[in-house]
Chain A
Amino acid sequence: MEQFITHWLGSTPAFAIPLALASMGLVLCERAGVLNMGAEGYMSLGAMTAAVLTLTLGNPAIGILCAVLAGATLALVFGFAVVVMRCEQILAGLATMAVGLGIAGVVGRSYVHKSFEGLQPLDLPWLDQLPLVGQLLFHQDILVYLTVLIGFALWFLLEHTRAGLKIRAVGEDPASADVAGVQVQVQQLLAITASGALCGLAGAYLSVASSSIWVDNMVAGRGWIALALVVFARWEPLKALAGAFLFGAIEALLPRLQAIGIPAPIYLMNMLPYLFTIAVLLVAACSGSKKGMEPAALGQPYVRQDRH
């Protein structure tokens, strides 16, 4: 039993980290008032970029770095459409998603199903032998620790810095922020680009760390789960991090239950992330608390002439 839990917790990050990175990126973006439906596309592009570069150069670090850049670049295109050209955010987001999936499929065409030496876990002797949490805490690759750091950094940025205040102001009331001298468009573009970078990193994690292989469509809907997680986490980065670990733990539990011979209710358990999200929405709607509300200006393009 102890072994079972150790392995289960130790494998949770493989599922949790991509969700955590993507949903934290989306939290940042939505706090700036931009609804970003492109996560699946940035993640696909990131996964493909990281895998192809790791395969050709043999260096996962360069692959991951370029995946972050690729995600950020694609997000910038989305940003240009919605912030500068003021396109409808949902449609532009879906279009970017399709572009990301398409580029990944075409460019990665000849690199499908080629396994490579991906990112390896750090070796911390003795510590990783600790019962229950040893594998989870001390036998992970560097990106797992980085993800937790990013979570705390984002929380600090949003809640305790002037820069974070500007981002939040833009998401709540862009007209007032504009009057107060905040450059609305610059803030939104920065948030969008950062969210693309984090989604690119999430994709890179899938291909280079979780599975050491790239397959077309391997993001497999994780971008959408990340989007649901943002609501689940009530637009707070640390809650998104925790939620991702909860969802990841469920996903890591499923194969292990089956492997020990317990017929797992797979359809029911695959519904859980969405059921949780609906439950959180219900609780939030019933409690009526002002904390953790959807950013007021989410999804509305800001045009200065509308100021009143």
Chain B
Amino acid sequence: MRNPVFASALSLTLLSASLLPNLAQADAFQLKGEPKIAFIYAATARDGGWNEALDDARQVVADKLGYPIAVAESIPEDASALKNAIDLYVQRGFNIIVGTTYGYSDGIAEAAEKYPNVAFVNASGTRNADNLESFYARTYEGWYLAGIAAGAMADSNKLGMLAGFPVSVVNWDINGFTRGVQVSKPDASVAVLYTNSWWDPVKEGQGAKSLLEQNVSVVANNLSSAAPFTEAEKADKYSIGFQLDMSANAPKGHLTSVTFHWDKYLVPTIEAIAAGTWEPSEYGAFPGLAEGVVDITPLPDSVPAAVKQTIATQRAAIIAGEMTPFDGPILAQDGSEKLASGASLDDEQLWSMDYLVKGTQGGAQ
């Protein structure tokens, strides 16, 4: 190999030959080595809500796929703390990192750039890349079904809903629920109460009490503490839960809970990563009822068969893609038109939902 031109030509040929098989699936992410997974939580994993739903999915992933999984809890959302944790995991050979919070978005995006051979997924994140996919669920589909049940069981036209902050992922739950209620009771209204916090049981309990003082017949809880269920149970009213099955907190009044089943997203995604066929969506993953990532828990016997039938029909229609809870016309709380008849909200409009629909009462400024 004295001839440098020949040598470089040969190596170029070899190089392109080695590249060829990859060209067939140029965008798919290729994992180096056996999958080793790390879950990183911003608080304790068994928090009775958001993290616990993800941690339940982690156990399913472990049972079904059998890959080694490490867990880190209470890693703060500031980027430096998160990057330290990711650096340590990558150094120890972990090549699939699962983030669990919106607050990790930017830190994970930086890490994904630094480690192009590591796969990243992040729950409720905002950033995506060639090796990073954020995911959230169409929770409003579950809330819509829960709303149908709540509207049918309510013995007055007044229902109430507790929520955290006025952001799009919360607003679409409230709006989905309200539109579900209106399927059963067109004239009903839903009083909306933001606690301005994600985990303050004192505020949640007092919020539920305030709604019950206004004689709402159903308390729908978009937050995760048990306090609102206890209050609703004491007042002999119905309640609806979120994230996990909350029936144990209100054995008499619990109608249903809108639950996450993240394993339905994580198992196929991790399988695809391991098989070398994973292509992260540039808009992030946004599964719903159809994928089984969101659902409602079975309704109690007190719910009439006709109502159960309506819910089953609507559920099937959403899964089949024949309808969405946000088909036009959509009117805002003040009556102004947000979406014309015949259209339905696209994902971009969903993610920028900064209004409540007609039939809601109150809210925040």
Contacts and interface: CB of A to CB of B under 8 A. Distances in A.
- A and B from one complex: yes
Interface of A: 3-4, 7, 11, 14-15, 105, 109-110, 112-115, 206, 210-213, 215-218, 220, 251-252, 254-267, 270
Interface stretch (B15-23, B114-122, B191-199, B255-263): B191-199
Contact of B199 (A105, A115, A220, A266): A220
Interface in B248-295: 249
A255 B230 contact: no
Interface in B337-365: 361-365
Given A259-B210, A259-B211, A211 B227 contact: yes
Nearest to A205: B202
A270 B48 contact: no
Contacts of B239: none
B27 interface: no
Interface string B201-213: 1111111011101
A218 B199 contact: yes
Contact of B362 (A14, A217, A251, A259): A259
A251 B364 CA distance: 15
Contacts of B210: 7, 11, 255-256, 258-259
Nearest 8 Cβ contacts at the A-B interface: A113-B48, A261-B361, A211-B201, A255-B210, A259-B210, A115-B226, A255-B207, A258-B193
Interface stretch (B39-47, B124-132, B144-152): B39-47
Contacts of B249: 115
B225 interface: yes
B202 A263 contact: no
Nearest to B205: A211
Contact of B364 (A105, A110, A215, A266): A266
Interface of B: 43-44, 46-49, 74, 160, 191-197, 199-207, 209-211, 213-214, 224-227, 229-230, 249, 361-365
A115 B44 contact: no
Contact of B193 (A4, A114, A255): A255
A60 B227 CA distance: 17
B362 A263 contact: yes
B234 to A, nearest CB: 10
A113 B246 CA distance: 11
Contacts of A113: 47-49, 224-226
Given A110-B46, A215-B225, A260-B362, 15 more contacts: A109-B44, A112-B46, A113-B48, A113-B225, A115-B249, A210-B202, A212-B230, A213-B227, A215-B47, A218-B201, A258-B191, A258-B210, A259-B160, A259-B193, A259-B213
Nearest to A113: B48
Contacts of A215: 47-48, 199, 201, 225
A74 to B, nearest CB: 20
Nearest to B49: A113
Given A105-B74, A115-B230, A211-B205, A216 B47 contact: yes
Contacts of B214: 259-260
B200 A265 contact: no
Given A213-B225, A218-B201, A264 B364 contact: yes
A263 B48 CA distance: 29
Nearest to B249: A115
A7 B364 CA distance: 21
Contact of B363 (A3, A220, A258): A258
Contacts of A257: 362
Nearest to A11: B206
Given A216-B47, A263-B363, A255 B191 contact: no
Given A255-B193, A265-B365, A7 B213 contact: yes
A218 B44 CA distance: 13
A85 to B, nearest CB: 29
Interface centre among B193, B199, B204, B213 (most CB of A within 10 A): B213
A220 B197 contact: yes
17 contacts: A3-B213, A7-B213, A14-B206, A105-B74, A210-B201, A213-B230, A215-B199, A215-B201, A252-B206, A255-B206, A256-B213, A258-B207, A258-B363, A259-B191, A259-B214, A264-B362, A267-B196
A216 to B, nearest CB: 6
B47 A112 contact: yes
A176 to B, nearest CB: 44
Interface centre among A15, A211, A251, A265 (most CB of B within 10 A): A211
Given A113-B224, A211-B227, A255-B203, A261 B191 contact: yes
A213 B191 CA distance: 25
A251 B202 CA distance: 11
